[in-house]
Structure 1
Protein backbone atom coordinates (compact mmCIF):
# COMPACT_ATOMS: atom_id res chain seq x y z
CA UNK A 1 0.00 0.00 0.00
CA UNK A 2 1.27 3.46 -0.92
CA UNK A 3 0.40 5.87 1.93
CA UNK A 4 1.10 9.04 -0.06
CA UNK A 5 -1.84 11.23 -1.01
CA UNK A 6 -5.00 9.15 -0.77
CA UNK A 7 -3.77 5.59 -0.05
CA UNK A 8 -3.98 2.96 -2.79
CA UNK A 9 -2.89 -0.65 -3.14
CA UNK A 10 -0.19 -1.12 -5.79
CA UNK A 11 1.07 -4.20 -7.59
CA UNK A 12 4.61 -4.18 -9.00
CA UNK A 13 6.40 -6.50 -11.42
CA UNK A 14 9.97 -6.00 -10.30
CA UNK A 15 10.40 -2.23 -10.15
CA UNK A 16 7.64 -1.57 -12.73
CA UNK A 17 4.24 -0.40 -11.53
CA UNK A 18 1.82 -2.96 -12.97
CA UNK A 19 -1.61 -2.21 -11.48
CA UNK A 20 -3.31 -0.24 -8.71
CA UNK A 21 -6.66 -0.04 -6.98
CA UNK A 22 -8.86 3.04 -6.84
CA UNK A 23 -8.00 5.48 -4.03
CA UNK A 24 -9.12 4.37 -0.59
CA UNK A 25 -11.58 4.46 1.10
CA UNK A 26 -13.85 2.69 -1.37
CA UNK A 27 -17.60 3.40 -1.37
CA UNK A 28 -19.48 0.72 0.55
CA UNK A 29 -21.65 -1.66 -1.47
CA UNK A 30 -24.35 -4.12 -0.33
CA UNK A 31 -22.31 -7.36 -0.43
CA UNK A 32 -21.56 -10.22 1.92
CA UNK A 33 -18.20 -8.62 2.71
CA UNK A 34 -17.12 -5.77 4.92
CA UNK A 35 -14.13 -3.55 4.17
CA UNK A 36 -12.18 -2.00 7.00
CA UNK A 37 -9.90 0.93 6.21
CA UNK A 38 -7.85 2.62 8.94
CA UNK A 39 -5.95 5.83 8.23
CA UNK A 40 -4.68 7.76 11.22
CA UNK A 41 -1.42 8.95 12.80
CA UNK A 42 -0.62 5.47 14.09
CA UNK A 43 -1.38 3.26 11.09
CA UNK A 44 -2.72 2.85 7.57
CA UNK A 45 -4.27 -0.55 6.91
CA UNK A 46 -6.93 -2.28 4.85
CA UNK A 47 -8.70 -5.58 5.49
CA UNK A 48 -11.90 -7.35 4.59
CA UNK A 49 -14.10 -9.92 6.28
CA UNK A 50 -17.00 -12.14 5.22
CA UNK A 51 -20.32 -11.94 7.07
CA UNK A 52 -21.11 -15.63 6.57
CA UNK A 53 -18.44 -17.80 8.27
CA UNK A 54 -19.39 -20.75 6.05
CA UNK A 55 -18.08 -18.90 2.97
CA UNK A 56 -14.38 -19.49 2.31
CA UNK A 57 -12.42 -16.98 0.25
CA UNK A 58 -8.78 -16.39 -0.56
CA UNK A 59 -6.72 -13.91 -2.57
CA UNK A 60 -3.79 -15.21 -4.64
CA UNK A 61 -1.18 -13.67 -6.93
CA UNK A 62 0.32 -15.75 -9.74
CA UNK A 63 3.64 -15.40 -11.55
CA UNK A 64 2.12 -13.42 -14.45
CA UNK A 65 1.03 -10.59 -12.16
CA UNK A 66 -2.65 -11.59 -12.03
CA UNK A 67 -4.30 -11.14 -8.65
CA UNK A 68 -7.42 -13.26 -8.05
CA UNK A 69 -10.10 -13.45 -5.43
CA UNK A 70 -11.44 -17.00 -5.20
CA UNK A 71 -14.52 -18.41 -3.46
CA UNK A 72 -14.91 -22.07 -2.55
CA UNK A 73 -17.88 -23.75 -4.27
CA UNK A 74 -18.87 -26.64 -2.01
CA UNK A 75 -21.22 -28.06 -4.64
CA UNK A 76 -18.44 -28.85 -7.14
CA UNK A 77 -15.57 -28.81 -4.63
CA UNK A 78 -13.63 -26.17 -6.55
CA UNK A 79 -12.28 -22.68 -6.09
CA UNK A 80 -14.15 -20.29 -8.42
CA UNK A 81 -12.92 -16.88 -9.48
CA UNK A 82 -15.02 -14.04 -8.16
CA UNK A 83 -12.74 -11.20 -9.25
CA UNK A 84 -9.34 -10.72 -10.87
CA UNK A 85 -7.06 -7.95 -12.15
CA UNK A 86 -5.49 -6.85 -14.36
CA UNK A 87 -7.43 -8.86 -16.97
CA UNK A 88 -7.56 -6.28 -19.76
CA UNK A 89 -5.04 -3.92 -21.33
CA UNK A 90 -6.94 -0.97 -19.88
CA UNK A 91 -6.30 -2.22 -16.36
CA UNK A 92 -2.53 -2.11 -16.70
CA UNK A 93 -1.08 0.99 -15.11
CA UNK A 94 -0.93 4.08 -17.32
CA UNK A 95 -2.11 2.25 -20.44
CA UNK A 96 -3.16 5.46 -22.26
CA UNK A 97 -0.69 7.92 -20.76
CA UNK A 98 -1.50 11.10 -18.87
CA UNK A 99 -4.73 13.13 -19.12
CA UNK A 100 -6.58 10.30 -20.86
CA UNK A 101 -8.98 7.48 -20.08
CA UNK A 102 -9.06 3.87 -21.20
CA UNK A 103 -12.38 2.24 -22.13
CA UNK A 104 -12.15 -1.58 -22.41
CA UNK A 105 -15.66 -1.76 -23.90
CA UNK A 106 -14.66 0.26 -26.98
CA UNK A 107 -14.80 -2.79 -29.24
CA UNK A 108 -15.35 -0.73 -32.40
CA UNK A 109 -12.66 1.89 -31.78
CA UNK A 110 -9.35 2.51 -30.05
CA UNK A 111 -9.71 2.13 -26.30
CA UNK A 112 -7.74 5.28 -25.44
CA UNK A 113 -9.38 8.70 -25.40
CA UNK A 114 -8.16 12.09 -24.18
CA UNK A 115 -10.07 13.78 -21.37
CA UNK A 116 -12.30 16.79 -22.22
CA UNK A 117 -10.14 19.79 -23.11
CA UNK A 118 -7.14 17.64 -24.06
CA UNK A 119 -5.72 16.19 -27.27
CA UNK A 120 -2.93 13.71 -28.09
CA UNK A 121 0.52 15.16 -27.53
CA UNK A 122 1.53 13.53 -30.80
CA UNK A 123 -1.32 12.85 -33.23
CA UNK A 124 1.01 10.82 -35.42
CA UNK A 125 2.01 8.52 -32.55
CA UNK A 126 -1.61 8.26 -31.41
CA UNK A 127 -2.71 7.16 -34.90
CA UNK A 128 0.00 4.49 -34.73
CA UNK A 129 -1.44 3.40 -31.36
CA UNK A 130 1.60 4.68 -29.47
CA UNK A 131 0.01 6.52 -26.54
CA UNK A 132 3.04 6.66 -24.26
CA UNK A 133 3.17 10.48 -24.47
CA UNK A 134 -0.46 10.83 -23.39
CA UNK A 135 -2.48 14.00 -23.92
CA UNK A 136 -1.97 17.76 -23.46
CA UNK A 137 -4.30 20.76 -23.29
CA UNK A 138 -5.82 21.71 -26.64
CA UNK A 139 -5.45 25.43 -25.98
CA UNK A 140 -2.18 25.44 -24.07
CA UNK A 141 -1.76 29.19 -24.61
CA UNK A 142 -5.06 29.97 -22.86
CA UNK A 143 -5.04 30.52 -19.10
CA UNK A 144 -7.30 28.35 -16.96
CA UNK A 145 -7.16 30.67 -13.95
CA UNK A 146 -9.72 33.48 -13.67
CA UNK A 147 -10.40 33.33 -17.40
CA UNK A 148 -13.90 31.86 -17.65
CA UNK A 149 -12.78 28.28 -17.10
CA UNK A 150 -14.93 25.58 -15.53
CA UNK A 151 -15.36 21.86 -15.04
CA UNK A 152 -16.72 18.99 -17.09
CA UNK A 153 -17.99 15.88 -15.32
CA UNK A 154 -16.61 12.58 -16.61
CA UNK A 155 -18.64 9.68 -15.20
CA UNK A 156 -18.11 6.04 -14.21
CA UNK A 157 -14.35 6.14 -13.71
CA UNK A 158 -11.59 4.53 -11.79
CA UNK A 159 -10.17 7.73 -10.32
CA UNK A 160 -6.66 8.91 -11.27
CA UNK A 161 -3.56 7.87 -9.35
CA UNK A 162 -3.68 9.81 -6.09
CA UNK A 163 -0.20 9.01 -4.78
CA UNK A 164 1.15 12.45 -5.66
CA UNK A 165 -0.12 16.05 -6.02
CA UNK A 166 -3.48 15.44 -4.34
CA UNK A 167 -5.19 16.84 -1.26
CA UNK A 168 -8.31 16.24 0.80
CA UNK A 169 -10.20 19.55 1.06
CA UNK A 170 -11.98 19.16 4.37
CA UNK A 171 -14.70 16.84 5.62
CA UNK A 172 -18.27 17.88 4.95
CA UNK A 173 -17.24 19.67 1.75
CA UNK A 174 -19.92 19.49 -0.93
CA UNK A 175 -19.50 19.63 -4.69
CA UNK A 176 -19.96 23.42 -5.03
CA UNK A 177 -17.49 24.18 -2.22
CA UNK A 178 -15.03 21.72 -3.70
CA UNK A 179 -15.35 23.34 -7.13
CA UNK A 180 -14.68 26.81 -5.73
CA UNK A 181 -11.65 25.60 -3.80
CA UNK A 182 -10.25 24.00 -6.95
CA UNK A 183 -10.93 27.11 -9.07
CA UNK A 184 -8.95 29.25 -6.62
CA UNK A 185 -5.79 27.23 -7.28
CA UNK A 186 -4.40 27.42 -10.82
CA UNK A 187 -2.64 24.06 -10.33
CA UNK A 188 -5.87 22.19 -9.57
CA UNK A 189 -6.70 20.00 -12.57
CA UNK A 190 -9.66 17.97 -11.27
CA UNK A 191 -11.72 17.08 -8.21
CA UNK A 192 -14.21 14.55 -6.96
CA UNK A 193 -16.50 14.26 -3.96
CA UNK A 194 -16.94 11.01 -2.11
CA UNK A 195 -19.01 9.80 0.80
CA UNK A 196 -16.92 8.31 3.59
CA UNK A 197 -18.86 5.99 5.89
CA UNK A 198 -19.61 7.65 9.20
CA UNK A 199 -17.81 10.88 8.26
CA UNK A 200 -19.92 12.44 5.53
CA UNK A 201 -18.92 13.91 2.19
CA UNK A 202 -15.35 14.91 1.45
CA UNK A 203 -13.51 16.45 -1.48
CA UNK A 204 -10.40 15.06 -3.16
CA UNK A 205 -8.52 17.36 -5.56
CA UNK A 206 -5.65 16.72 -7.97
CA UNK A 207 -2.94 19.33 -8.48
CA UNK A 208 -1.07 18.14 -11.53
CA UNK A 209 -0.95 15.12 -13.81
CA UNK A 210 -4.01 12.86 -14.15
CA UNK A 211 -2.78 9.32 -14.73
CA UNK A 212 -4.22 5.80 -15.05
CA UNK A 213 -7.94 6.51 -15.53
CA UNK A 214 -10.26 3.66 -16.48
CA UNK A 215 -13.83 4.06 -17.73
CA UNK A 216 -16.38 1.51 -16.50
CA UNK A 217 -19.64 0.44 -18.13
CA UNK A 218 -21.50 0.99 -14.87
CA UNK A 219 -20.76 2.21 -11.36
CA UNK A 220 -17.42 3.95 -10.86
CA UNK A 221 -16.81 7.51 -9.65
CA UNK A 222 -17.34 10.94 -11.19
CA UNK A 223 -14.34 13.17 -11.92
CA UNK A 224 -14.73 16.88 -12.60
CA UNK A 225 -12.01 17.90 -15.06
CA UNK A 226 -10.90 21.53 -15.36
CA UNK A 227 -11.25 22.94 -18.90
CA UNK A 228 -10.59 26.35 -20.45
CA UNK A 229 -13.32 28.81 -21.48
CA UNK A 230 -13.25 27.81 -25.17
CA UNK A 231 -13.63 24.11 -24.41
CA UNK A 232 -16.32 24.78 -21.81
CA UNK A 233 -18.28 26.89 -24.31
CA UNK A 234 -17.98 24.22 -27.01
CA UNK A 235 -19.19 21.49 -24.67
CA UNK A 236 -22.12 23.56 -23.40
CA UNK A 237 -23.09 24.44 -26.98
CA UNK A 238 -22.95 20.77 -27.99
CA UNK A 239 -25.11 19.83 -25.00
CA UNK A 240 -27.62 22.57 -25.89
CA UNK A 241 -27.90 21.39 -29.50
CA UNK A 242 -28.46 17.81 -28.36
CA UNK A 243 -31.29 18.96 -26.07
CA UNK A 244 -32.78 21.09 -28.84
CA UNK A 245 -32.63 18.17 -31.29
CA UNK A 246 -34.34 15.90 -28.74
CA UNK A 247 -37.03 18.52 -28.07
CA UNK A 248 -37.79 19.09 -31.77
CA UNK A 249 -37.84 15.36 -32.44
CA UNK A 250 -40.28 14.85 -29.55
CA UNK A 251 -42.55 17.66 -30.81
CA UNK A 252 -42.49 16.26 -34.36
CA UNK A 253 -43.28 12.74 -33.14
CA UNK A 254 -46.15 14.01 -31.00
CA UNK A 255 -47.58 16.12 -33.86
CA UNK A 256 -47.31 13.26 -36.35
CA UNK A 257 -49.06 10.95 -33.91
CA UNK A 258 -51.92 13.40 -33.38
CA UNK A 259 -52.34 13.95 -37.14
CA UNK A 260 -52.43 10.18 -37.72
CA UNK A 261 -55.12 9.78 -35.06
CA UNK A 262 -57.19 12.56 -36.64
CA UNK A 263 -56.91 10.98 -40.11
CA UNK A 264 -57.99 7.61 -38.72
CA UNK A 265 -60.95 9.26 -36.97
CA UNK A 266 -62.13 10.89 -40.19
CA UNK A 267 -61.69 7.73 -42.31
Structure 2
Protein backbone atom coordinates (compact mmCIF):
# COMPACT_ATOMS: atom_id res chain seq x y z
CA UNK A 1 0.00 0.00 0.00
CA UNK A 2 1.64 3.24 -1.15
CA UNK A 3 -0.85 5.79 0.20
CA UNK A 4 -1.32 6.16 3.97
CA UNK A 5 -4.03 8.30 5.52
CA UNK A 6 -2.88 11.22 7.69
CA UNK A 7 -1.79 9.97 11.11
CA UNK A 8 -4.11 12.48 12.74
CA UNK A 9 -7.27 11.01 11.20
CA UNK A 10 -9.90 9.96 13.73
CA UNK A 11 -13.54 9.01 14.01
CA UNK A 12 -15.85 11.98 14.48
CA UNK A 13 -19.53 12.03 15.31
CA UNK A 14 -21.85 9.07 14.76
CA UNK A 15 -25.36 9.69 13.43
CA UNK A 16 -28.11 7.23 14.34
CA UNK A 17 -31.72 6.71 13.37
CA UNK A 18 -33.91 5.91 16.40
CA UNK A 19 -37.56 4.95 16.75
CA UNK A 20 -38.46 7.04 19.81
CA UNK A 21 -36.33 10.11 20.35
CA UNK A 22 -37.38 10.90 23.93
CA UNK A 23 -36.75 7.31 25.02
CA UNK A 24 -33.33 7.37 23.39
CA UNK A 25 -32.41 10.71 24.94
CA UNK A 26 -33.32 9.39 28.40
CA UNK A 27 -31.24 6.26 27.82
CA UNK A 28 -28.16 8.09 26.58
CA UNK A 29 -28.38 10.64 29.37
CA UNK A 30 -29.19 8.40 32.33
CA UNK A 31 -27.55 5.10 31.36
CA UNK A 32 -24.65 6.04 29.07
CA UNK A 33 -23.92 9.43 30.62
CA UNK A 34 -24.02 11.81 27.65
CA UNK A 35 -25.52 15.29 27.83
CA UNK A 36 -27.97 16.86 25.41
CA UNK A 37 -26.12 19.68 23.67
CA UNK A 38 -28.66 20.61 20.99
CA UNK A 39 -32.31 19.86 20.25
CA UNK A 40 -34.18 20.18 16.96
CA UNK A 41 -37.34 18.94 15.28
CA UNK A 42 -37.05 15.19 15.83
CA UNK A 43 -33.30 15.41 16.42
CA UNK A 44 -30.82 15.71 19.25
CA UNK A 45 -27.05 16.09 19.53
CA UNK A 46 -25.29 14.61 22.55
CA UNK A 47 -21.82 14.92 24.00
CA UNK A 48 -19.88 15.68 27.17
CA UNK A 49 -19.01 18.80 29.10
CA UNK A 50 -16.02 20.90 28.23
CA UNK A 51 -17.13 22.54 25.02
CA UNK A 52 -16.42 19.61 22.74
CA UNK A 53 -18.38 18.96 19.54
CA UNK A 54 -21.27 16.48 19.71
CA UNK A 55 -20.25 12.84 19.72
CA UNK A 56 -23.64 11.40 18.82
CA UNK A 57 -26.56 12.67 16.75
CA UNK A 58 -30.02 11.10 16.96
CA UNK A 59 -32.81 11.44 14.41
CA UNK A 60 -36.24 9.98 15.00
CA UNK A 61 -37.81 7.75 12.35
CA UNK A 62 -41.49 7.68 13.40
CA UNK A 63 -43.05 4.22 13.70
CA UNK A 64 -39.76 2.49 12.88
CA UNK A 65 -39.45 -0.99 14.35
CA UNK A 66 -36.08 -1.91 15.90
CA UNK A 67 -34.37 -4.80 14.13
CA UNK A 68 -32.59 -7.70 15.84
CA UNK A 69 -28.84 -7.44 16.21
CA UNK A 70 -26.83 -8.60 13.18
CA UNK A 71 -29.74 -7.97 10.81
CA UNK A 72 -27.60 -6.56 8.02
CA UNK A 73 -24.72 -4.32 7.03
CA UNK A 74 -24.37 -1.23 9.20
CA UNK A 75 -23.49 -0.59 12.82
CA UNK A 76 -22.05 -3.29 15.06
CA UNK A 77 -21.14 -0.74 17.71
CA UNK A 78 -19.74 2.73 18.18
CA UNK A 79 -17.17 3.15 20.92
CA UNK A 80 -16.89 5.95 23.45
CA UNK A 81 -13.34 6.29 24.77
CA UNK A 82 -13.12 7.58 28.35
CA UNK A 83 -9.90 9.22 29.54
CA UNK A 84 -8.97 6.85 32.37
CA UNK A 85 -9.79 3.64 34.23
CA UNK A 86 -11.57 5.43 37.06
CA UNK A 87 -14.06 6.85 34.56
CA UNK A 88 -14.63 3.34 33.19
CA UNK A 89 -15.23 2.03 36.71
CA UNK A 90 -17.81 4.74 37.33
CA UNK A 91 -19.48 3.92 34.01
CA UNK A 92 -19.63 0.23 34.95
CA UNK A 93 -21.19 1.01 38.31
CA UNK A 94 -23.88 3.12 36.68
CA UNK A 95 -24.58 0.55 33.97
CA UNK A 96 -25.02 -2.20 36.55
CA UNK A 97 -27.33 0.01 38.61
CA UNK A 98 -29.50 0.59 35.52
CA UNK A 99 -30.26 -3.13 35.33
CA UNK A 100 -29.37 -3.60 31.66
CA UNK A 101 -27.17 -6.39 30.35
CA UNK A 102 -23.49 -5.41 30.35
CA UNK A 103 -20.93 -7.38 28.38
CA UNK A 104 -17.24 -6.84 28.99
CA UNK A 105 -13.86 -7.79 27.60
CA UNK A 106 -10.19 -7.15 28.27
CA UNK A 107 -8.68 -6.67 24.81
CA UNK A 108 -5.12 -6.30 26.21
CA UNK A 109 -4.84 -2.88 24.54
CA UNK A 110 -8.03 -1.74 26.25
CA UNK A 111 -10.80 -2.65 28.68
CA UNK A 112 -14.31 -2.46 27.24
CA UNK A 113 -17.95 -2.56 28.33
CA UNK A 114 -20.69 -3.46 25.86
CA UNK A 115 -24.38 -2.54 25.90
CA UNK A 116 -27.21 -1.91 23.43
CA UNK A 117 -29.58 1.04 23.26
CA UNK A 118 -33.39 0.60 23.06
CA UNK A 119 -33.16 0.22 19.26
CA UNK A 120 -30.44 -2.47 19.45
CA UNK A 121 -27.69 -0.07 18.37
CA UNK A 122 -24.47 -1.44 19.86
CA UNK A 123 -22.38 0.72 22.20
CA UNK A 124 -18.92 0.20 23.63
CA UNK A 125 -17.50 2.28 26.48
CA UNK A 126 -13.79 1.69 26.95
CA UNK A 127 -10.45 2.93 28.19
CA UNK A 128 -7.08 2.42 26.53
CA UNK A 129 -3.99 1.02 28.16
CA UNK A 130 -0.83 3.07 27.49
CA UNK A 131 0.58 2.44 24.02
CA UNK A 132 3.88 1.25 25.44
CA UNK A 133 2.00 -1.73 26.90
CA UNK A 134 0.57 -2.83 23.53
CA UNK A 135 2.23 -5.90 22.07
CA UNK A 136 2.74 -6.96 18.44
CA UNK A 137 3.03 -10.40 16.91
CA UNK A 138 5.75 -11.65 14.55
CA UNK A 139 3.94 -10.04 11.60
CA UNK A 140 3.78 -6.66 13.29
CA UNK A 141 0.05 -6.86 14.01
CA UNK A 142 -1.21 -5.47 17.30
CA UNK A 143 -2.14 -8.29 19.67
CA UNK A 144 -5.68 -7.99 20.99
CA UNK A 145 -7.42 -10.46 23.29
CA UNK A 146 -10.89 -11.40 24.52
CA UNK A 147 -10.27 -11.97 28.21
CA UNK A 148 -12.89 -11.19 30.88
CA UNK A 149 -12.51 -7.97 32.84
CA UNK A 150 -11.95 -8.10 36.59
CA UNK A 151 -15.21 -6.28 37.33
CA UNK A 152 -14.65 -6.02 41.08
CA UNK A 153 -11.23 -4.46 40.58
CA UNK A 154 -12.67 -2.04 38.03
CA UNK A 155 -15.49 -1.06 40.40
CA UNK A 156 -12.96 -0.56 43.18
CA UNK A 157 -11.13 1.88 40.90
CA UNK A 158 -14.21 4.12 41.01
CA UNK A 159 -14.31 4.16 44.81
CA UNK A 160 -17.17 6.15 46.29
CA UNK A 161 -17.02 8.96 43.75
CA UNK A 162 -20.44 10.11 42.55
CA UNK A 163 -21.67 9.32 39.04
CA UNK A 164 -21.77 12.54 37.01
CA UNK A 165 -21.97 11.11 33.50
CA UNK A 166 -19.12 10.57 31.07
CA UNK A 167 -16.34 13.04 31.82
CA UNK A 168 -14.79 15.80 29.76
CA UNK A 169 -12.19 14.30 27.48
CA UNK A 170 -14.44 11.43 26.35
CA UNK A 171 -14.15 10.97 22.59
CA UNK A 172 -15.49 8.75 19.82
CA UNK A 173 -12.65 6.26 19.91
CA UNK A 174 -13.66 3.93 17.09
CA UNK A 175 -16.54 2.40 15.17
CA UNK A 176 -17.18 -1.24 14.31
CA UNK A 177 -19.25 -2.16 11.27
CA UNK A 178 -21.07 -5.15 9.86
CA UNK A 179 -20.11 -5.26 6.18
CA UNK A 180 -21.25 -7.27 3.18
CA UNK A 181 -17.91 -8.95 2.52
CA UNK A 182 -14.27 -8.34 3.35
CA UNK A 183 -12.07 -8.30 0.19
CA UNK A 184 -13.59 -5.24 -1.50
CA UNK A 185 -14.14 -3.62 1.89
CA UNK A 186 -10.48 -4.03 2.79
CA UNK A 187 -9.46 -2.61 -0.60
CA UNK A 188 -11.66 0.46 -0.10
CA UNK A 189 -10.53 1.28 3.43
CA UNK A 190 -6.84 0.43 3.03
CA UNK A 191 -5.88 0.88 -0.63
CA UNK A 192 -8.18 3.84 -1.33
CA UNK A 193 -8.63 5.65 2.01
CA UNK A 194 -5.21 4.60 3.27
CA UNK A 195 -5.98 3.12 6.67
CA UNK A 196 -3.44 0.56 7.86
CA UNK A 197 -4.41 -3.02 8.66
CA UNK A 198 -3.40 -3.60 12.28
CA UNK A 199 -5.13 -6.87 13.23
CA UNK A 200 -7.52 -9.49 11.94
CA UNK A 201 -9.63 -12.39 13.20
CA UNK A 202 -9.20 -15.28 10.75
CA UNK A 203 -11.30 -14.41 7.70
CA UNK A 204 -14.23 -12.86 9.59
CA UNK A 205 -13.00 -9.46 10.82
CA UNK A 206 -10.40 -6.78 10.12
CA UNK A 207 -9.20 -3.89 12.25
CA UNK A 208 -7.73 -0.79 10.64
CA UNK A 209 -6.29 2.44 11.97
CA UNK A 210 -4.40 5.65 11.37
CA UNK A 211 -1.28 6.73 13.21
CA UNK A 212 -0.54 3.38 14.84
CA UNK A 213 -3.73 3.18 16.90
CA UNK A 214 -5.08 -0.28 17.78
CA UNK A 215 -8.10 0.37 15.57
CA UNK A 216 -10.28 3.23 14.42
CA UNK A 217 -12.58 0.98 12.38
CA UNK A 218 -13.55 -2.66 12.83
CA UNK A 219 -15.04 -4.52 9.87
CA UNK A 220 -16.76 -7.88 10.20
CA UNK A 221 -19.04 -10.27 8.30
CA UNK A 222 -20.82 -11.57 11.39
CA UNK A 223 -24.20 -10.55 9.95
CA UNK A 224 -23.47 -12.93 7.06
CA UNK A 225 -21.57 -12.60 3.81
CA UNK A 226 -23.80 -10.72 1.38
CA UNK A 227 -25.85 -9.15 4.18
CA UNK A 228 -27.88 -6.23 2.77
CA UNK A 229 -27.59 -2.70 4.11
CA UNK A 230 -30.03 -1.93 6.94
CA UNK A 231 -32.83 0.11 5.31
CA UNK A 232 -33.16 3.83 5.99
CA UNK A 233 -36.68 3.22 7.32
CA UNK A 234 -35.29 1.23 10.26
CA UNK A 235 -33.29 2.35 13.30
CA UNK A 236 -29.55 2.08 12.79
CA UNK A 237 -26.50 3.91 11.51
CA UNK A 238 -27.24 6.86 9.23
CA UNK A 239 -23.57 7.76 8.75
CA UNK A 240 -20.34 8.43 10.59
CA UNK A 241 -17.57 10.96 10.22
CA UNK A 242 -13.89 10.51 9.58
CA UNK A 243 -12.21 13.73 10.71
CA UNK A 244 -8.95 14.86 9.08
CA UNK A 245 -6.60 17.34 10.76
CA UNK A 246 -6.11 19.58 7.68
CA UNK A 247 -7.70 20.47 4.37
CA UNK A 248 -4.61 19.05 2.66
CA UNK A 249 -5.28 15.65 4.25
CA UNK A 250 -8.91 15.83 3.15
CA UNK A 251 -7.96 16.77 -0.41
CA UNK A 252 -5.53 13.85 -0.55
CA UNK A 253 -8.48 11.55 0.14
CA UNK A 254 -10.59 13.38 -2.41
CA UNK A 255 -7.92 12.71 -5.03
CA UNK A 256 -7.70 9.06 -4.03
CA UNK A 257 -11.47 8.61 -4.30
CA UNK A 258 -11.56 10.28 -7.70
CA UNK A 259 -8.66 8.17 -8.98
CA UNK A 260 -10.50 5.02 -7.85
CA UNK A 261 -13.72 6.23 -9.55
CA UNK A 262 -15.63 6.10 -6.26
CA UNK A 263 -18.90 8.08 -6.50
CA UNK A 264 -18.91 11.05 -4.14
CA UNK A 265 -20.51 14.39 -3.49
CA UNK A 266 -19.61 17.40 -1.37
CA UNK A 267 -21.62 19.49 1.06
CA UNK A 268 -20.22 22.60 2.75
CA UNK A 269 -16.68 21.34 2.78
CA UNK A 270 -17.51 17.74 3.66
CA UNK A 271 -16.91 14.84 1.26
CA UNK A 272 -19.74 12.29 1.29
CA UNK A 273 -19.08 8.76 0.08
CA UNK A 274 -20.34 5.21 0.60
CA UNK A 275 -18.22 2.15 1.24
CA UNK A 276 -18.77 -1.10 -0.74
CA UNK A 277 -21.58 -2.13 1.66
CA UNK A 278 -23.40 1.18 1.11
CA UNK A 279 -22.50 2.61 4.52
CA UNK A 280 -22.27 6.40 4.33
CA UNK A 281 -19.08 8.12 5.44
CA UNK A 282 -18.49 11.86 5.70
CA UNK A 283 -14.92 13.10 5.47
CA UNK A 284 -14.62 16.39 7.34
CA UNK A 285 -11.82 18.69 8.48
CA UNK A 286 -11.06 19.24 12.16
CA UNK A 287 -12.83 22.37 13.38
CA UNK A 288 -15.51 22.29 10.70
CA UNK A 289 -17.63 19.59 12.40
TM-score, normalised via structure 2 length: 0.24
- The structure showing larger relative contact order (alpha-carbon pairs under 8 Å, at least 6 residues apart) is 2
TM-score, normalised via structure 1 length: 0.25
**Which has the larger Rg?**
1
